[in-house]
Amino acid sequence: MTLDVEVITLTLVVITFGIYIYIGWWAKVKDTSNFFVAGKEIPAVANGAAIAADWMSAASFISMAGLISFLGYDGTIYLMGWTGGYVLLALLLAPYLRKFGRYTVPDFIGDRYYSNKTRAVAAIATIFISLTYVAGQMRGVGIVFSRYLQVDITIGVIIGMAIVAFFAVLGGMKGITWTQVIQYFVLIIAIIIPAAAISLQLTGIPVPQLGFTFSDIAERLSTLQVDLGMNEYLAPFQNMSGLNVFAVTLALMLGTAGLPHVIVRFYTVKDVRSARWSAGWALIFIALLYTVAPAIGVFAKYNLINTFNDESITDVREISWVSKWEETGLLGLDDKNGDGILNFTEESSPGNEVTIDPDIIVLSTPEVAELSPFIIALVAAGGLAAALSTASGLLLAMSSAVSHDLYYRIFRPQATEKQRLKIGRIMIFLAVIVAGYFGINPPGFVGEVVAFAFGLGAASLFPAILLGIFDKRMNRQGATWGISIGLSFTLIMILLMRSVEVFGTETQILDSFLGIDALGIGVVGAIVNFIISFIISRTTQAPPKEISDMVEEIRVPKVSDSSEK
């Protein structure tokens, strides 16, 4: 049985990797426009799928449903937080950035604020955000390999590096985009099939979102949890304060709209119109996973409680998936009071005898629902697709910040097309190596990726771009100070509130900032940025005429002047 699953998994992984490599070869590019922005000819729907795959990381795929099932109502921080930002992107940023029509986020910030210093700050923010994010993805690849194919994590990371390096170095943004489109379908099928099966089993409705809303399963889980001494699943603010749920949700929304690897995807479509539409397609594709995840969370938790609670430990251990996941350490059964019966209650309470890693929720679903080994293999391939697609988008964002923004725009504006392409390829290759290294030896800050990436995106890039479009009076001084102070404030706050994880101090140096946790501090950083930018810009010189003309121009899709082409 286990051998069976492994053989199928291996086959499926080899087939999907073969497809990714083939696309990289097919899409090989010869110029910088194709390398950085896929020649600006990606259709809106395909870009939507690519954004979705870019967006949904190993964590969204493997961990999110599990996290939600433990957070209950408060899990909304991820559900609304990681989807709401697309409305901001579609309405406030994407169309105008597409009209601006260059290659990167620092491109816009540097040009709009007529300053190479600001460009450099934006490039460094881009590199830091992407680096923390990508290290986690490479580790995710290693973890999937080790769990499903009993390969060492290090070897898994190296295999992942080799695959990404191949299609990213050769195909640039074009190769990355089309592999992401395929990766999207692999990962979404992998999550939907088991979810539909378990929904049918528990609610009689095969569409998980409907089973979740139109059956009493959530209510049953909520009552069951209360009976067992756990939190009421359906009641708000059981795990986090209302203020924190608010701050974190908003920070993740703003952060989404400030993530460079997502923003650049809007440069790859052919016109302003497609930028607006592709944001809509992206959210449809993303919502498929994000509306299924809370349903899976409820179904799986309900199932797990019923499988374990009040059952004899020896009976439970005879279930094949139980022993398998117990071996991996993701599931812990411990009959503390020696009565032979398992008690499942609040994790922290001393009487609890079942400990569950949140990842189990998704990983075990196919087995719990008694689906064929093929589906189990599909989940493995889906996890890899999620990790690889996100990693490749981030690697491109990092390498273009170095090769385009720092090298070409600042240090060597006279560089030829050929040199720029070469540097772009070298940089993406180096980025793969760095990401792989951090994936194998993750430093403390990698575990705090959500706080860092989203907090910094929200506090630095999002306000700078937004003001650049909507506030014509915003000038270099205002933006530069706004970004610098917003960024440093957020960075310092996160470091102080996560000092245990990052520096290994005994206790956190700072518990919270006025009750707001590290995950939500980006909102405060963004407000600081907005205020500072506003005050400084109004007390210094207005931006030059050509800059306000540029702002006028990006606000309309096409200036309908008489000089028709």
Partner 1 sequence: MSDKQLSERQREYWKKNIRLIVTLLVIWASVSLVAGIILAEPLSNIYFFELPLSFWFAHQGSIVVFIFLIFTYAIRMDRLDKKYGVEEVILTEKKDSKGDES
- Nearer residue to partner 1 within complex by CB, 273 or 538: 273
d(CA 396, CA 35): 9
The conformation of residue 345, written as its DSSP 8-state character, comes to -
Task: Pick from 38, 197, 218, 386 the residue near partner 1 by CB under 8 A.
Answer: 218
d(CA 511, CA 515): 8
Nearest approach in angstroms of CB 57 to partner 1 is 18
Question: Which range binds partner 1 by CB under 8 A, 6-14, 266-274, 335-343, 492-500?
Answer: 266-274
- Nearer residue to partner 1 within complex by CB, 236 or 332: 236
The conformation of residue 541, written as its DSSP 8-state character, comes to P
Nearest approach in angstroms of CB 1 to partner 1 is 35
- Nearer residue to partner 1 within complex by CB, 250 or 428: 250
Interactions with partner 1, residue window 139-178 (CB under 8 A): none
Nearest approach in angstroms of CB 36 to partner 1 is 13
- Nearer residue to partner 1 within complex by CB, 84 or 171: 84
Asked if 359 contacts 66 with a C-beta cutoff of 8 angstroms, the reply is yes
d(CA 418, CA 131): 26
Question: Which range binds partner 1 by CB under 8 A, 1-9, 35-43, 365-373, 386-394?
Answer: 35-43
Annotate each residue in 102-141 with x if it binds partner 1 (CB under 8 A) or - if it does not, as one string.
Answer: x--------x------------------------------
d(CA 370, CA 161): 33
Nearest approach in angstroms of CB 145 to partner 1 is 32
Nearest approach in angstroms of CB 215 to partner 1 is 6
DSSP H or E stretch at residue 223:
helix 217-227
Interactions with partner 1, residue window 372-391 (CB under 8 A): none
Secondary structure (3-state) at 42: strand
Nearest approach in angstroms of CB 365 to partner 1 is 18
SS3 sequence of 379-392:
HHHHHHHHHHHHHH
Residue 539, judged by CB atoms within 10 A of its CB (0-12, 13-18, 19+), counts as: exposed
Give first-to-last CA distance, the chain, whole Å: 67
Nearest approach in angstroms of CB 311 to partner 1 is 27
- Nearer residue to partner 1 within complex by CB, 102 or 476: 102
Secondary structure (3-state) at 269: strand
Question: ∠358-363-369 over CA atoms, to 5°?
Answer: 115
Give the list of residues 6+ apart from residue 338 with CB closer than 8 angstroms, or none.
none
DSSP H or E stretch at residue 356:
strand 354-356
Task: Pick from 18, 117, 204, 216 the residue near partner 1 by CB under 8 A.
Answer: 216
d(CA 514, CA 37): 42
- Nearer residue to partner 1 within complex by CB, 34 or 392: 34
d(CA 354, CA 360): 13
CB atoms within 10 A of CB 314: 9
- Nearer residue to partner 1 within complex by CB, 150 or 560: 560
Task: Pick from 129, 163, 187, 272 the residue near partner 1 by CB under 8 A.
Answer: 272
Interactions with partner 1, residue window 482-521 (CB under 8 A): none
Interactions with partner 1, residue window 534-563 (CB under 8 A): 550, 552, 555-563
Residue at 30: amino acid letter: K
d(CA 45, CA 268): 12
Size of the site for partner 1 (CB under 8 A): 66
Distances (CA, A) of 72 to 67, 168, 348, 368, 415: 9, 39, 16, 21, 54
Annotate each residue in 61-100 with x if it binds partner 1 (CB under 8 A) or - if it does not, as one string.
Answer: -------x----x-xx--xx--xx-xx--xxx--x----x
Asked if 310 contacts 341 with a C-beta cutoff of 8 angstroms, the reply is yes
Interactions with partner 1, residue window 231-260 (CB under 8 A): 234-237, 242, 245-246, 249-250, 253
Nearest approach in angstroms of CB 429 to partner 1 is 27
Nearest approach in angstroms of CB 561 to partner 1 is 5
d(CA 482, CA 205): 51
Task: Pick from 280, 374, 415, 437 the residue near partner 1 by CB under 8 A.
Answer: 280
Annotate each residue in 284-323 with x if it binds partner 1 (CB under 8 A) or - if it does not, as one string.
Answer: x--x--xx--x-----------------------------
Nearest approach in angstroms of CB 314 to partner 1 is 36
Secondary structure (3-state) at 194: helix
Distances (CA, A) of 311 to 94, 228, 346, 369: 54, 14, 17, 19
- Nearer residue to partner 1 within complex by CB, 128 or 233: 233
Residue ranges binding partner 1 (CB under 8 A):
39-41, 68, 73, 75-76, 79-80, 83-84, 86-87, 90-92, 95, 100-102, 111, 209, 212-219, 234-237, 242, 245-246, 249-250, 253, 270-273, 276-277, 279-280, 283-284, 287, 290-291, 294, 550, 552, 555-563, 565
